[in-house]
Structure 1
Amino acid sequence: MIPTDHEFSLLYMMYGMLLAFLIIKAITSDYKMHLIFLSIYTAFLIFIFSDRSNFEGGSSLGVLLLGASFVGLQLLIIITIKIYKELRKTAN
């Protein structure tokens, strides 16, 4: 059972864009560690989305928040690394 509500479609779109970005960056630069974390995250969410009981009793918003928080955290880490590299480059 994979939810297809509007909110989950937004999560899937965010996840797809992040996945495409990381695949392109992993091929061209040093984002291989992020790709490993993304694959672990993908396996975890497949496990959560495939269990029907996670969506009963109004807990689907918790699942949505959990999924979006990992994507947001990954993007925050990438942005922080980019800012740090730029600051280090301008300091030299």
Structure 2
Amino acid sequence: MPRVMSATQVRMHFGDVMRRVAETGEPVIVERAGKPRVAVVPLSDYERLRELETAEVRPRNRAALDWLDRWLSTPDEMGDNWWESFERELREHPVTLGEST
């Protein structure tokens, strides 16, 4: 179970917190007013999380970009219904833009 510390404790002992997290690999949950706000995690955990986020979003974006590329390559084949086709494709394959929160 991760260690829980107040924001004040972390601020006063940040060097120790960093060292402990880096050496043990155990995250520290930082609370403010008794509520968890952030976590101090090892860099390797953070990098793995970013890779997972990218891997999850990439296939959907790739599918949308492939469809758009096909459409741009042959717009005349879709005639006047290109917008309806584009909207239908987006509904069937929603694209989530990468967000960092």
TM-score (normalised: structure 1): 0.35
Q: Please say which structure displays the higher CA radius of gyration.
A: 2
Name whichever structure is richer in strand by fraction: 2
RCO comparison, higher one (Cα < 8 Å, 6+): 1
Name whichever structure is richer in helix by fraction: 1
TM-score (normalised: structure 2): 0.33
